[in-house]
Amino acid sequence: MAREPKLSLIPLGGLGEIGKNMMAVRFGENILIIDCGLMFPEEEMLGIDIVIPDITYLLENREFVRGIVLTHGHEDHIGALPYVLRQLNVPVYGTKLTLGLLQGKLKERNVNALLNTVKPRNIFQIGPFRVEFIRVSHSIPDAVAIAVHTPVGVIIYTGDFKFDQTPVDGQVTDFNRLAQLGDKGVLVLLSDSTNAEIPGYTLSERMVGKTFDDTFRQANERIILATFASNVHRLQQAIKVAHKQGRKVSVVGRSMVNVVNVAYELGYLNIPEGVLIELDEANRLPGHKVVILTTGSQGEPMSALTRMALSDHRQVDIVPGDTVIISATPIPGNEKVVARVIDQLFKQGAHVIYESVSSIHVSGHPSQEDLKMMINLVRPKFFVPVHGEYRMLIKHAEIAKDVGVLPQNVFVAENGHVLEFTRRVGRVSGRVTAGKVLVDGLGVGDVGNVVLRDRKQLSQDGILIVVVTINREAGLIVAGPDIVSRGFVYVRESEKLLEEARAKVKSALDLCADRGISEWSYIKSQVRDALGRFLYEKTRRRPMILPIIMEI
């Protein structure tokens, strides 16, 4: 009897977290990758710029990787590609805007890749997989769900979506095609869980346009609007309302300037002639004639809005009478920094309108009723919630069971799980390497838990450097010990403590000399231990202690 063909789905990112979305689809010796995103560092990841998926599994199976397909152009779906494509030279497939945004990122990092533009409803072959793009609504144009026709059955990966009946660009989700696939039979649905905890339906993006209209009309002076750089629909509505009310628009923030340029060149942004002006020119106009579009809706330390709030921006100062609109919801974990920026803006005299007190933002993700509709349209045999923190995945799994998916056919997985499906059954069959790779400056993956732990210790208790010069033959201390403190105590006010610390170091060195110990690593360890115990007794702090012993 012939063995039943098996299909494996292996999430390498995006499960149990918001960001770094990446899914591997494997059939035999063929692997297709869906999305390749980054996430921003958590609070305790000191000094880390971004986090990307661990692709050890793909590198171990590099000869089987046939290509990467992309759902849309947000960072959490394409942001890791400049790093991944250095190690995996495979073709990339996406819609026009998605690849336009990706191209800029690859050029910036000097990465070459074979990019293939695909339109919604197009079907193309990658190895044994027939791949189809299906249009969906989201907060960025050209977003698609991906149907992968495999020898085992059809899987649908929704990507980020919402059911917007009145989208800004008029491109409604392809309900018809989703229903057709549902009629033919879908093996597995992998669906966006971001808003699985939120009841009801997600509102249309046009609601924000109406709020902009009212808010812009009521503002007597300059308007500063912060939103996600990639939210092209939001930018389009702001430009449209500004033009209607006789205001000029200036764009601030490198990522937003890049997105506006790419979206305009590719025809996804309609900007009336003369509306877009340089910031220098905007600064010469009266306030009631100006709208500034800026980055910084998440309170990022180096973003334009944060620098404005702290009076640290070279060209824009917040002045009393300015209306600042923050048109975004804080990503989980960013709430505190966003609140701090809002406080600073109020202190500068601005009138601040933010999501929790207005309808200035709507989500790009599906709420509970939208999720039910997607499952009912597609009617999958198996269901896997993706794109969300663990509690969101659990909630989405409950929703799937409520609308009729058999409980044994719903899989709440974690990054690295191998989900194996035949036409009849599904199971978790194992685990592969998956996790976080930290990017710090030009270093990719060279900062691990040990370095982060050291950074945390330095940030909490500071560092003490002990410098001593020894004549090893005579067993004498020639110079020192000198103690340099950074971030531990203020030297001028702690002379007695540091004097006692020097004595402890001297005692540890004398003890080593008396015992005839000459091994440097052992001597340093003794100094570190003796000083560490003493300082903890005196201060209840544990600074990093760095002994430097020189020999003459």
Tokens of 175: 């309900």
**Dihedral sign computed on CA atoms, order 504, 480, 512, 549:** positive
Angle at which helices 368-378 and 390-402 pack, to 10 degrees? 50
Element housing 466 (H / E): strand 463-471
Q: Which residues are catalytic?
A: 192, 365
CB of 506 within 8 A of CB of 481?
A: yes
Q: Could you give the 3-state DSSP secondary structure of residue 154?
A: strand
CB of 160 within 8 A of CB of 138?
A: yes
Residues 418 and 397: their CA atoms lie apart, in Å, by 18
Q: Which residues contact 492 (CB under 8 A, 6 or more apart)?
A: none
Residues 223 and 185: their CA atoms lie apart, in Å, by 51
CB of 162 within 8 A of CB of 197?
A: no
* 223-226/7-13 β-pairing: unpaired
Tokens of 379: 């009617």
The structure tokens 């579009």 sit at 293
- 415 by Cβ neighbours in 10 Å (0-12 / 13-18 / 19+) ranks as buried
- In one-letter notation, the amino acid at residue 452 is L
Residues 374 and 395: their CA atoms lie apart, in Å, by 15
Look up residue 329 and give its DSSP letter. P
Residues 326 and 226: their CA atoms lie apart, in Å, by 5
> How would you list the strands of the sheet with 476-486, edge to edge?
476-486, 463-471, 544-551
- Alpha carbon of 428 to those of 7, 8, 374: distances in Å? 12, 9, 24
Residues 21 and 78: their CA atoms lie apart, in Å, by 9
Question: Which phi and psi (to 5°) does residue 159 adopt?
Answer: 60, -165
- 95 by Cβ neighbours in 10 Å (0-12 / 13-18 / 19+) ranks as buried
CB count in 10 Å sphere of residue 273: 6
Q: In 3-state terms, the chain is what percent helix, strand and coil (to 5)?
A: 35, 25, 40
Residues making up the chain, counted from first to last? 552
Residue 395: closest CA among 416, 367, 376, 414? 367
Radius of gyration of the chain (CA): 28
